Amino acid sequence: MITRLINELQHRRVFRSVAAYAVVAWIAVEAADVIFPALGVPEAALTWLIVIALVGFPIVAVLAWLYDVTSEGVVPGTPAPESTNGLSRLSQISSWLLVLVLAAAVAYLSVRLYSQAGDESTLLRGKSVAVLPFKNIAADESTNNVYFSDGVAEEILSGLSDVEGLRVAARTSSFAYRDNVNIREVGETLNVSTVLEGSVRMDQDAEHVRITAQLIETESGFQLWSDTFDYELENVFAVQDEIAAAIVRELELEFSGREIDLVQPGTANVEAYKAYLHGRHLLQQQTVTAIDQAIGHFDRAIDLDPDYAQAYTGLADAWIGKRRIGNLSLFEATQQAHDAISSALRLNSELAEAQTSLGLCVLGAGEQRIAASQFSKAIELDPSNVDAYLQRANLLRDQGFLADATRAYTQALALDPLNPRIITEQAILTGLQGRFDRAFEQLESLLAKYPENLAVTLAMSRVAALAGEAERSLRFARQAQSLAPDNPIALTRVVDAYIQLGHLDDAETTLNQARSFAPENESVIQATMRFLLVAGRRTELETMTTQRAQQVIDNPGLTESKIRLDRLVWAAIGRFSDGDSAGASGLLERAMPGSISLDPHPQSVYYLALLTKSRVLEEKDQATISAALENGRAAAKRVQAQGWGTGDVDYAMAALAAAGGDVPEALGHLQDAVSNGWRSFLFANSDPAMASLLEVEAYQALIRQMEKM
């Protein structure tokens, strides 16, 4: 009877079908186990995938029994012929092997399902923790050591993050709960079962410190562990490690046999450590004054301990911050940052934050591919490095890879769901996708929590500009200016808003204010070029853009740098505006050789429009002109495939059509641009690629229509 059944199962290909399904199910579960966490997919999804895989076995078996796949399609299965009732020994062995494969697959999936359930129950038993900022209890009213109490909590958090089997909420999300903490809310929002909170009191002479800490279960609110530590300040590292070790023991996690301490601050010098923490605290303020003070603290930390790698990384981050908002040339700031990072990596090449800083450093010089590699390396060294995930997402977005950036922001938010920086940058991405209502919703929610957050306010202005709401853009730009009167980015945002509205006098007044104290700042220089172009000040524009191009044109280290491409194109625009089409053509040919690979960004389409225009003006052969046009159209398709939804895309396509002499197509794209929020009519009137449209009545009518919006 059994032999007959096996024969029937083999004849109907049930064994082979189920075995093949088992292999596919195994591959799918293993792949999901790797891919799901990287994409930020909830843990429960893997459990459901395993359940579905198990349920699929009987379904596949029944279908294989009832149906057969032939060259004529799917047909009902037929019984085995009587003559084949007897099985050869080889057939019996192969059949039993297939049965063993099936049994192994079912056992494997069952074990995975059990372990998944076990993981979830483990979380419920307390295998996750959020470390809240420790309260600073001042010895007197003049003492403010918030930076130190925050640093104590952050070091404990960092140490716990290295414990296998313990899930630790990210710093920014945990530190969002600084005051009036509701423990149950923390547990629900951050999906943790325990919370560590505490306080730090340092005496007036800064020689003695008292640290209290308590571990609380979020579901019940019960205290699981607490202790008070009275130590001399020089023993603060031992206290941090003792607290971390106590948490691990309380949560019944194994860490015995470790040859190193859980908490590794990077220095044994407490004064150097304090200086480093103070510098990091100042960097968060994002003002030039605070950055200069931070540089002083990092320098002091390095003087006290020349082997303190984290202090060098902090110093590099300070120079990168000063490059953004200070009066410092891009190349000088980049060199200062690079020197500091080189020292950090020489001391500790495995320091993830140094790899992230190196990525930001080279990004300032336009080395996008190198920067991407550094961010990936930082993530590889420390998979919980939120900043590396965020910077990688920002880079992908700014390159134009919106689809990849969407996934990257999701990964960052999975690690740090309450981080306002991530949400702000993601909202800008949402705006670039043309989902303006959703972007405003995200940013307005942040502003309700952080009404004086400069980055959120600037993002509101930028998204409003993308949406064609120029007045709203100006309002938030002015609000950003009031929050940071000397911030170059805030001031240039005001300049751009005035230009979008056509208020050139107001734009020039604000630009002069920015140039008065930050003439070397890159944002101010770029705003100046945009203003000179729309204001028709051609000689000044040509002089400025030529000087900037000379700094990069013969630099072998910047051959494939984005900064070289941008500067040569701007120099070409300056030549165009001054009537030198031959000079413009030469610069564009050097900027975009035939082998260059441009990012899927509207700017790439526009650059190819300028190249097309230069070839038309230079009366190149039709094949050469057509090649530029085709490259531009191909670039436009890549941009659209990424999900761009702003008017900038349509404007770039209009410029490409106008450069090629197709006026009707150019006007059609311009109308689409206006419908999608584009309002930069002053730029269009000054754009060399659009020159063929300036005398067309339909174009002028469109501009008049836009001016009334």
B/e letters for 67-95, b = 16+ CB within 10 Å, e = fewer, are: bbeeeeeeeebeeeeeeeeebeeeeeeeb
CATH number of 543-707: 1.25.40
Asked if the domains at 128-250 and 543-707 fall in one CATH topology, the answer is no
Q: For the segment 426-455, what is each residue's pLDDT rounded down to a tens digit?
A: 999 999 999 999 999 999 999 999 999 999
Q: For the segment 36-56, what is each residue's pLDDT rounded down to a tens digit?
A: 655 555 555 666 676 676 667
Average pLDDT over residues 72-78: 57
Reduced to 3 states (helix: H, G, I; strand: E, B; else coil), residue 166 is coil
**Whether residue 526 has pLDDT greater than 90:** yes
Phi, psi of 88 (to 5 degrees): -70, 160
| Average per-residue pLDDT for the chain | 85
Alpha-carbon span 448 to 325, nearest angstrom:
25
**Whether residue 463 has pLDDT greater than 90:** yes
Q: For the segment 297-348, what is each residue's pLDDT rounded down to a tens digit?
A: 999 999 999 999 999 999 999 999 999 999 998 889 999 999 999 999 999 9
**Architecture of the domain defined by 285-479:** Alpha Horseshoe (1.25)
C-alpha distances (whole Å) from 442 to each of 96, 142, 367, 459, 560 are 59, 39, 31, 11, 36
pLDDT at 374: 96
Alpha-carbon span 267 to 233, nearest angstrom:
14
Single out the residue of 472, 478, 471, 475 nearest to residue 492, CA to CA. Answer: 478
pLDDT at 120: 45
pLDDT at 244: 86
Which one of 41-55, 93-107, 661-675 scores highest in mean pLDDT? 661-675
Number of H helices, E strands in the chain: 32, 8
Confidence of residue 101 (pLDDT cuts 50, 70, 90): low
The helix (H) or strand (E) run that includes residue 343 is helix 330-347
pLDDT at 255: 47
- For residue 531 the two structure tokens come to 């203003």
Average pLDDT over residues 504-525: 96
- Bridge pairing between strands 194-202 and 135-137: parallel
Phi, psi of 459 (to 5 degrees): -65, -40
Amino acid at site 291: I
- For residue 20 the two structure tokens come to 């093949």
**Whether residue 80 has pLDDT greater than 70:** no
**Domain boundaries 128-250, CATH class:** alpha beta
- For residue 381 the two structure tokens come to 């060294």
Least trusted range by pLDDT, from 31-40, 408-417, 621-630: 31-40
Average pLDDT over residues 633-657: 95
pLDDT at 63: 66
Please give the model's pTM, rounded to 2 decimal places.
Answer: 0.80
Higher pLDDT, 180 or 666: 666
pLDDT at 115: 52
The helix (H) or strand (E) run that includes residue 382 is none
Q: For the segment 108-143, what is each residue's pLDDT rounded down to a tens digit?
A: 555 555 554 444 433 443 478 999 999 988 654 445
Average pLDDT over residues 72-88: 54
Q: For the segment 229-275, what is each residue's pLDDT rounded down to a tens digit?
A: 888 888 888 888 888 888 888 877 654 444 456 777 789 999 999 99
Domain boundaries, the chain: 2-124, 128-250, 285-479, 543-707
Higher pLDDT, 65 or 352: 352
Confidence of residue 555 (pLDDT cuts 50, 70, 90): confident
- Percent of the chain exceeding pLDDT 70 equals 80
Alpha-carbon span 104 to 96, nearest angstrom:
12
pLDDT at 54: 66
Locate tokens 């995938």: which residue? 49
**DSSP letters along 610-653, please?**
HHHHHHHHTT--HHHHHHHHHHHHHHHHHHHHTT--SHHHHHHH
Amino acid at site 618: E
Reduced to 3 states (helix: H, G, I; strand: E, B; else coil), residue 200 is strand
Q: Which neighbouring-strand residues pair with 167?
A: 128
Alpha-carbon span 315 to 309, nearest angstrom:
10
Alpha-carbon span 681 to 685, nearest angstrom:
6
